Amino acid sequence: MSEAFCQNALYRWAHDAGHRYIAPNVKMFAWEGDLASVSRHGYLVEYEIKCSRSDFLADKKKLRHRWLLQGIDKVDLGALKLKVPSYFYYALKEGVRYEPDEIPAYAGVLRIYSPLVFIEKEAPQIHARKASDQERQWLTNAVVRRYWRERLREKK
């Protein structure tokens, strides 16, 4: 099961849950997310897909986790306006093992079983700000740009 297969399963799951503006590999936050969506209640949700235990453990070294752990409002970034999701989920491929204490307090866990997705741990709300029209448009544009990039690549 590849990352693309997992993205497809997450898309179907999020869409069925009423999410809209669902886009893969989005550089919307201060980092790139494997998938992002806007929930039916208007909140940005990020999904970080992990296909192996080593990939899961390596991800914890990324800067975003330090920011999220210490509280995004306490991070001094100067003029950089940081966008963070309202909810963050690890989406783990079937068979990827983890210990409960390896999941940060701000994260939820989704389990991907071909092609179904189940919630193992609900993600707590990181902040209560809803997605702006600009952020919704960003997700839409990301999908359109990707579509045309792939379509033009096929024509070569």
33-92 pLDDT per residue, tens: 899 999 999 999 999 999 999 999 998 888 777 777 766 555 554 444 457 788 999 999
What is the model's pLDDT at position 71?
A: 61
CB-based burial label for 44 (10 Å; 0-12, 13-18, 19+): buried
Find the mean pLDDT for residues 15-44: 90
pTM of the predicted protein model: 0.87
Q: Domain tally for the chain?
A: 1
Please, which residues have CB within 8 angstroms of residue 30's CB and are 6 or more apart in sequence?
Answer: 63, 64, 67, 80, 82, 83, 84
* Structural domain that includes position 71: 3-154
Q: How far apart are CA 116 and CA 121, in angstroms?
A: 16
Say if residues 47 and 39 touch (Cβ distance below 8 Å).
Answer: no
Distance CA 96, CA 98 (A): 7
Region 132-138: mean pLDDT is 89
Given the structure tokens 């039916």, which residue do they identify?
40
Please give the sequence-ordered ranges of beta strands (E in DSSP) within 19-65, or none if there are none: 20-26, 33-38, 44-50
Distance, CA of 40 to CA of 156 (rounded, Å): 39
